[in-house]
Chains A and B, each alone.
Chain A
Amino acid sequence: MSRHTADTPADPVEDYLDQLFVTLSGSPRQVRHTVAEVEAHLRDAVAEGVAAGLTEPEAQAQAVARMGPVHGVTGRGAALTRPSLALARRLALTAALVGGAGFLAIGAAGLVARLLLAVKGDEFLTAPWPAGTYTRADCARWLAGDPGTHSCVTAMLADHAGDFLLQAAAAGLLGLIALAAYLTLRQRWQDRATLTALPAGTAEALGTALAAVATVVCLGQAVDTEMVQHGIGAGEPWSLGAAAAVAAAAFALALRRALRRAAPA
């Protein structure tokens, strides 16, 4: 665990405590107390070994051997102390946070789109397909879903707007589930190995970058639609762009906070 130089000779007790520190889970206080407790135990055992005639290194090695593997102290399986598992858990947390926030943003875009729909109508939210790209059967299906209208294009717009709102609601729900999983797992995986498997602010930086790209793409598409199609179908990219911009701002604030927390005092 620690790097040894000529000035810092190998000390099995220190190495053991380092490994224990990065493996223990629980609140910072619980971790500090357990490390202090085990250190007192190891120092007692070393003192006993030296009193019995062992050299200091022999006594240290014996004390660590008698203590047993670190996962015995943490009360968790040996597999849970593997660095690769800590990295996998950190990646899962990152994916849950970024993915959850992304899906939640799409859900929020659905709410924005619903407002736009109420104010500016179906045609602003989604553009109709060009003539010749849909069949009579498509028309019949859209009209069946909207019995109050006799226009195929109007029924198509209502159908497409409904699809977008439904998909956005489903994405929002998925986002809430992913964020709930993130909060639950983050509470459970409090060990140092998991917390330090990736640099501080990695998830927030990734979220900021992805949300910023989504903002530029969606808002660019909205402006293009306004200019080329005179706003027909611009509602979708506007709502997605607005939600992505809010997500990017939230991730950027979280990134700033994470970097401040990680910076040495």
Chain B
Amino acid sequence: MRSERLKGHLDLLLLSVLSRGPGHGYEVITRLRDRSDGAFELPEGTVYPALHRLEEAGLLASAWDAVSGRRRRIYRLTLAGEGALAEQSQQWSEFSGSVTRVLGTQAAVSPPRPALPGVTA
């Protein structure tokens, strides 16, 4: 998926990934890639401004921890983050459901286009 399109939904995806448990930046990227079966590929560095923004907004909290001998910043969802995730998930479900219905209706009512005379498929 194009990273530009993904960026519009990055906050929701990050909140969702971290709702499964705290993690550092590299883990977040790995989980995002794994849970999307590799569909969500974006420059890994772009996750950090988003994580910092979510922390500033109070939706995430972070603490430094030593994991495998290396200092890492571990992010976890706050209560406000859980609320925001529930709200944004609901909005996304409604939006995607509407888009799916529109696309499904269009596919159902649109007859296949007849071939132009003299043009073969």
Contact = CB atoms under 8 A, between A and B. Distances in A.
Q: How large is the interface on A (under 10, 10 to 19, 20 to 34, 35 or more residues)?
A: 10 to 19
Given A68-B44, A74-B49, A37 B70 contact: no
A43 B26 CA distance: 10
Contacts of A132: none
A75 B47 CA distance: 9
Contacts of A41: 24-26, 29, 44
Contact of B26 (A45, A70, A73, A74): A45
Contacts of A40: 24-26, 70-73
B70 A66 contact: no
B93 interface: no
A67 interface: yes
B26 A69 contact: no
Contacts of B64: 33
Interface in B45-63: 45-46, 48-49, 52-53
Contacts of B71: 36, 40
A40 to B, nearest CB: 5
B46 A37 contact: no
Nearest to B53: A75
Contact of A72 (B26, B29, B46, B72): B46
Interface in B82-117: none
B43 interface: yes
Nearest to B73: A37
A72 B73 contact: no
A37 B55 CA distance: 15
Interface string A209-247: 000000000000000000000000000000000000000
A44 B49 CA distance: 19
B29 to A, nearest CB: 8
Q: Which of B25, B45, B53, B71 has the most CB of A within 10 A?
A: B45
A38 interface: yes
Nearest to B48: A73
B10 to A, nearest CB: 12
20 contacts: A36-B71, A36-B73, A37-B24, A38-B48, A40-B25, A40-B71, A40-B73, A41-B44, A44-B70, A45-B26, A67-B44, A67-B45, A68-B42, A68-B45, A69-B45, A70-B45, A72-B49, A73-B49, A75-B48, A75-B52
Interface of B: 24-26, 29, 42-46, 48-49, 52-53, 64, 70-73
